[in-house]
């Protein structure tokens, strides 16, 4: 008959399932994803009321709405489309949730919507407002501006500078949203000859 081996107290407690997980601490605890290529790694810490962190217990992860954001087994969170969801961490029967908002640019409004410039005349600034899926203005987005024909008009930041007579467009883009602004540059008005 084999002699009975005694297990160290810590191992015995783990074998008997005495780890008492009272809550899961998720970090970061508030998430806003603004770009399609945003990725965030979530950390879930199984904790006891007394502050013990059970580092060997890793949570399972799931998104309540996978059409908005997805999370894999390692806690890597990626956005899918604009919206709101919660990510749920689970250890045994204990769960915790963290809110996630995905705020992509869903609409842009450019003013003025069309331009008439004069060759050799002053530039005109384009103003762009960006909106999320709820119609709220997003002030943290940077538009890009591209002239379709730089012989007619070119861009300096958000200002349209007339170059030569003709018609062209400014393509204004924020993420996947774009708007075309029609531009006409009229010939420079020559002053009448002095008598």
Strands 159-162, 124-125: pairing kind: antiparallel
pLDDT at position 151, please?
95
**What is the signed CA dihedral for 132, 138, 140, 143, rounded to 10 degrees?**
80
CB-neighbour burial class of residue 107 (10 A; exposed 0-12, middle 13-18, buried 19+)? middle
Same domain, residue pair 93 and 127: no
Same domain, residue pair 95 and 139: no
Alpha helices in the chain (DSSP H): 9-15
Query: What residues does 41 pair with on adjacent strands?
Result: 76
Same domain, residue pair 84 and 156: no
Residues in the chain: 195
pLDDT at position 20, please?
86
Structural Rg of the chain based on CA atoms: 29
Within-domain flag for 118: yes
pLDDT at position 30, please?
85
Same domain, residue pair 38 and 77: yes
- Cβ 37 vs Cβ 53: under 8 Å: no
Tokens of residue 70, six digits: 């997805």
3-state secondary structure of 28: coil
Which range marks the domain in which residue 26 is found?
A: 19-102
State how many domains the chain has: 2
Within-domain flag for 93: yes
pLDDT tens per residue, the chain (195 residues)? 544 444 343 443 443 345 689 999 999 988 999 998 999 999 999 999 998 999 899 999 999 999 999 999 999 999 999 999 999 999 999 999 999 999 999 999 999 999 999 998 999 999 999 999 999 999 999 999 999 999 999 999 899 999 999 999 999 999 999 999 999 999 987 655 444
Within-domain flag for 10: no
- Domain of residue 131, CATH code: 2.60.40.1080
Same domain, residue pair 97 and 128: no
């Amino acid at each position: 008959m084999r002699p009975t081996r005694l297990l160290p107290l810590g191992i015995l407690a783990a074998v008997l399932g005495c780890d008492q997980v009272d809550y899961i601490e998720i970090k970061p605890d508030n998430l806003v994803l603004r770009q399609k290529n945003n990725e965030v790694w979530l950390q879930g810490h199984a904790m006891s009321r007394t502050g013990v962190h059970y580092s060997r217990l890793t949570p399972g992860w799931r998104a309540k709405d996978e059409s908005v954001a997805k999370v894999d087994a390692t806690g890597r969170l990626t956005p899918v489309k604009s919206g709101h969801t919660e990510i749920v961490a689970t250890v045994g029967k204990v769960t915790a949730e963290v809110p996630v908002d995905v705020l992509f640019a869903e609409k842009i409004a450019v003013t003025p919507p069309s331009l008439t410039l004069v060759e050799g005349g002053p530039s005109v600034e384009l103003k762009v407002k960006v909106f999320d899926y709820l119609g709220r203005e997003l002030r943290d987005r940077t538009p890009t501006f591209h002239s379709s024909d730089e012989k007619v008009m070119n861009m300096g930041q958000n200002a349209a500078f007339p170059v030569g007579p003709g018609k062209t467009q400014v393509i204004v883009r924020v993420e996947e949203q774009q708007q075309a602004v029609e531009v006409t540059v009229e010939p420079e008005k020559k002053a009448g000859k002095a008598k």
